[in-house]
Structure 1
Amino acid sequence: MAINKLPFGRYHVIDSLLSKGERVKTSEIQRAILYELQIKVSSKTINNDLNDMRDSKALGYFAPIEKDLSKKAYYYSDPDYTIKAFGLKDADINALQFYANTINQYKDYEVFKDFATAIEKILAVLAGSKGAPGIQKTRSIVQTERTPLITGGHLIPKIVEAINTKYVIAFKYQKFDDEKVKEVKLQPYLLKEDRHLWYVLGKNHKGHLITYALDRIKDFTISNDKFLPDDFDFEDYFKYSFGITVTDEVPVNTVLSFTPFQGKYIKALPIHPTQKILLDNDQELRISVEVKPAYEFYEKILGYGANVRVISPPEIVSDLKERLKQALNLYK
């Protein structure tokens, strides 16, 4: 997260130092921010923060910050002043708490640790401020879906680096259904999460776009080979997908009929961006989706059990019948 996106935490650290009535040097402010927020900032950033606290109409602090030229340090000319009288509003605190709880599910991934820690530090600083709004400490009022730590998560920052710097990555890869280990060289284009698993998409030496799961990657390295990336539209690439799998097939218009009760959920949370409502009455909710049917699509539809019926096309109906027969055979 860019430093300039965390100004309020810095303002409160600066305020806590200056409100003690002492002269404070820029280096002391830097150390305090590093300790409180675990963020390294430049002296230029500190000077900008001091100017903003003093002069910014948008902030409205108009803090009485003066500089002691002899000591090259800053202080409040009004010893009773504090920005805690302005502070963050309840809505601001709630937004930070919500964001912290949301991103907390990824805290075990190295690349996300700084994000979560920085927000937690800001909330901790505000919690200790006399003028801060009430912050819930004893109970959680927002609970998000928990994401298990997946093997390969430590590769995320390295792959991000390779994508940004346009370097080819190399690794060993083994599919779940293949005993053979492949040596792979890949031009990385995109990191994508799907159902709590992470994938890297890129082009091989033949120029083919391929997807690899991070949990199956071994001996990862960033090579010294640079590449010139193509302009690739991944939004369009995944347009007809229900997950990470994208086939070469032509998209199929698929019509689904849901029970009225299940239909309420489908309307509240559409199952696909291409979803269109064809019929909505007391008997059914009928929708259509444009899809390249793959494993994730069938898994999704089968998950609705008796609450959905595929009307068309015939080939998908046939595939689903076969899968249901195979499932029934497990209970014979």
Structure 2
Amino acid sequence: MSTKKNQSYNVITQLFRYKHSISSAEIQQKLADNDLPNSERTVQRLLSDLKNIGLDFEYNPQNRKFKFNPSDDDYQTKLIGLMVAADFMQSVAAFPTNTLQFIEFDDRVVAKGSTFLPDLFKAITTTKWIEVTYQRYENDHPKTHLVAPLFLKEFNYRWYLLAVIKTKGPGKTNMPLLFGIDRIVNLSLTDQSFNKIKLQKLSDYTAWTKGHIEKPMDLFDDVIGVRFTQAPVQEVILKFHPDQAPFIKSQPWHSTQKILVENEQEFTIEICVRPNDDLLTMILSQHGNVEVIEPKELRQSVIDMLQKSLDLYAPTKTTNKKNKR
């Protein structure tokens, strides 16, 4: 895709992001301001391309404007954000020597194992079995598996691969697992295709049964992060210090986030998830700015973790003796 075309997409998506309803004349003017092709025919072609990509908008003949119509707000937000970020990263990569003197990325942005991403994505889209050499943190020696890759997920600056291991022997069930890409030592694509439809029925595996799994990404609907759990979906109520409201609203904890209370004394939200270790980590990272109201089990887990942390700083008998002197 050409750089100018990418820039044009970026201009239009940003207009939709901030105005939600824009006219063809506004698009033309914005494109012209950025020294980009801006004829009426060009605008129509760009809009058609964006619609084919997945951006949801419709034309209103009454006010002659295109209205951004996010039927799936979370997906639309991700799509626009990805396009804007891709355009920016492409600009940085085009002239790295010049741009990197003004920009510093977090070292974790370039995650370990990210060099495998192109091959993994190719294997997923072409439904090819891949041979993966994988080393767990707790094992000294890597193991090689033949796996069917289904889905890639990024969380907390790490990439994960959802895949199904091909087991040997008749009557044995292929087992779905989550692989940390940073622990992949080597991988190679094979010329063998797998039946993606069959392997996508992940609800057949009792450990992950949820009842509404139609595609691999559905496994992550009810959890924060990547750690699966047997816990049922629950209403998690979190009470924040009111100063945290702008941050929690601008970066929701989950797609189900709903504001229950917002005033000068408190900011309380509700999310519907399966409580897991990743949720617990997010709560603890708030450094005392959040209180778990419900469920009681999660609240107690937070109390236990905070007490465990306090115990690390408890004065020892030796310290007490020194203080007495």
Give the TM-score normalised by the residue count of structure 1.
Answer: 0.58
Structure 1 equivalent of residue 246 of structure 2: 264
In structure 2, the residue corresponding to 1:305 is in which secondary structure? coil
Listed as ranges, the gaps of 5+ residues in structure 1 are 10-55, 61-95, 106-115, 122-135
C-alpha separation between the residues in 2 aligned to 1:277 and 1:167? 44
- The correspondence for 1:276, drawn from 229, 252, 258, is 258
In structure 1, the residue corresponding to 2:41 is in which secondary structure? coil
Which deviates further from its counterpart, 301-310 or 142-151?
142-151
Structure 2 equivalent of residue 195 of structure 1: 156
Asked whether the equivalents of residues 101 and 143 of structure 1 are also in contact (C-alpha less than 8 Å), the reply is: no
Structure 1 equivalent of residue 131 of structure 2: 170
Deviation at 1:300, TM superposition (A): 0.5
Structure 1 equivalent of residue 53 of structure 2: none
C-alpha separation between the residues in 1 aligned to 2:110 and 2:192? 31
The alignment status of 1:101 with 2:92, answered yes or no, reads no
In structure 2, the residue corresponding to 1:322 is in which secondary structure? helix
Asked whether the equivalents of residues 237 and 271 of structure 2 are also in contact (C-alpha less than 8 Å), the reply is: yes
In structure 2, the residue corresponding to 1:266 is in which secondary structure? helix
Deviation at 1:167, TM superposition (A): 1.2
Deviation at 1:187, TM superposition (A): 0.5
The alignment status of 1:315 with 2:297, answered yes or no, reads yes
Structure 1 equivalent of residue 41 of structure 2: 58
Q: 1:104 to 1:218 in 2, by over 3 A?
A: farther
Asked whether the equivalents of residues 150 and 216 of structure 2 are also in contact (C-alpha less than 8 Å), the reply is: no
C-alpha separation between the residues in 2 aligned to 1:59 and 1:170? 45
Asked whether the equivalents of residues 102 and 144 of structure 1 are also in contact (C-alpha less than 8 Å), the reply is: no
Aligned residue type for 2:188? T
Q: Deviations over 1:103-154 (max 9, x none)?
A: 578xxxxxxxxxx44xx59xxxxxxxxxxxxxx98985x8776644332121
Structure 1 equivalent of residue 174 of structure 2: 207
Deviation at 1:268, TM superposition (A): 2.9
Listed as ranges, the gaps of 5+ residues in structure 2 are 7-38, 44-82, 167-172, 201-213, 315-325
Structure 1 equivalent of residue 187 of structure 2: 220
Asked whether the equivalents of residues 101 and 144 of structure 1 are also in contact (C-alpha less than 8 Å), the reply is: no
The alignment status of 1:181 with 2:106, answered yes or no, reads no
C-alpha separation between the residues in 2 aligned to 1:293 and 1:138? 40
Deviation at 1:314, TM superposition (A): 1.1
In structure 1, the residue corresponding to 2:288 is in which secondary structure? helix
Q: 1:246 to 1:155 in 2, by over 3 A?
A: same
Q: Deviations over 1:297-331 (max 9, x none)?
A: 11100011211100111111111111111211222
- The correspondence for 1:243, drawn from 212, 225, 247, is 225
Give the TM-score normalised by the residue count of structure 2.
Answer: 0.59
Q: 1:258 to 1:149 in 2, by over 3 A?
A: same
Alignment of 1:277-296 (within 5 A): 277-296=259-278
C-alpha separation between the residues in 2 aligned to 1:104 and 1:139? 14
The alignment status of 1:229 with 2:199, answered yes or no, reads no
Aligned residue type for 1:253? E
Aligned residue type for 2:178? T
Q: Deviations over 1:158-199 (max 9, x none)?
A: 112211221111122222234463332210011221121111
Alignment of 1:19-168 (within 5 A): 58=41, 99-102=86-89, 116-117=93-94, 140=102, 147-168=108-129
Which deviates further from its counterpart, 200-209 or 287-296?
200-209
User: Identity percentage over the alignment?
Assistant: 26
C-alpha separation between the residues in 1 aligned to 2:220 and 2:193? 26
Q: 1:317 to 1:168 in 2, by over 3 A?
A: same
C-alpha separation between the residues in 1 aligned to 2:124 and 2:312? 45
Q: 1:318 to 1:99 in 2, by over 3 A?
A: same
C-alpha separation between the residues in 2 aligned to 1:148 and 1:325? 33
* Larger Rg, first or second structure (1 or 2): 1
Q: Deviations over 1:257-312 (max 9, x none)?
A: 11111123222322211111112222211111112222211110001121110011
